[in-house]
Amino acid sequence: MSGSGAPELRSSAAGKKIYVISSSWHKQIMDGLVAGALRELEASGATKVIQQTVPGAFELPLAANWAAEKGADVVIALGVVIRGETPHFDFVCNAATEGLTRVQLDRAIPIGFGLLTVNNVSEALARAGLEGSKEDKGKEAVQAALAMANLR
pTM as predicted: 0.92
Give the DSSP H/E element, type plus range, for residue 13: none
By CB atoms closer than 10 A (0-12, 13-18, 19+), residue 148 is middle
26 part of the active site: no
Residue count (the chain): 152
pLDDT tens across 34-48, in order?
Answer: 999 999 999 999 999
What counts of helices (H) and strands (E) characterise the chain? 5, 4
pLDDT for res 11: 83
Q: Which of 10, 88, 102, 134 is catalytic?
A: 88
CA dihedral 64, 70, 74, 79 (to 10 degrees): -30
The distance of Cα 79 from the centroid of its chain, to the nearest Å, equals: 7
- The conformation of residue 136, written as its DSSP 8-state character, comes to B
10-residue averages of pLDDT along the chain (152 residues): 65 90 96 97 94 97 98 97 88 96 97 96 93 94 95 84
> What is the fold, at CATH topology level, of the domain defined by 31-151?
Rossmann fold (3.40.50)
pLDDT for res 2: 53
Domain boundaries, the chain: 31-151
DSSP H helical segments within 59-136, as ranges? 60-69, 88-107, 121-127
- Start-to-end CA distance of the chain, whole Å, equals 20
Contact partners, residue 17, CB within 8 Å, separation at least 6: 48, 50, 71, 72, 73, 74
